[in-house]
Amino acid sequence: MSQAEPTDGDTTGTLKDSYLYSIQNGDDRPADDDMMFGVVRRQKYGIRNIIDINYSSLSPSDDLLTEFKQRADEVGHNTAVDDVNFRERYQQQLSNFKPQRLIEEITILLEGGTDVWLVCYENTDEKFCHRDLLKEVINERIE
């Protein structure tokens, strides 16, 4: 799990991220009043059981995911991120109206003191995940 902690005296909630199996296995333990947002294109493997809502518009597009997965099979996960310009393309996607509206909703929750989790399937201990970029975008709004 990675997170951005609020400073002392700050009522801003904490933005956290995790992946499905870490939560299922109890490695990450969200509080009952935390908001759990899925950021996946397709809900599978029981993710519906742990999230409050899924914002598929905050997941990479089908085209980007398909191209990324094909390239990752050839050169490895983290190398494929650069090869398909994943960061730039995903950031461009996030600049569209619907993702911006959803990011604003998450920002409002955080500013109101609610802890928010972004959840998908990727273990980010050694791999890049779109959650990393999404957290940067959200954190820029609340700073």
Tens-place pLDDT, residues 66-89:
999 999 999 999 999 999 999 999
- d(C-alpha 26, C-alpha 4), whole Å: 20
3-class DSSP assignment, residue 125: coil
Phi, psi of 2 (to 5 degrees): -125, 150
pLDDT at 70: 97
pLDDT at 8: 47
pTM (two decimals): 0.87
* H/E stretch holding 13: none
At 46 the pLDDT is 87
Tens of pLDDT, residues 85-116? 999 999 999 999 999 999 999 999 999 999 99
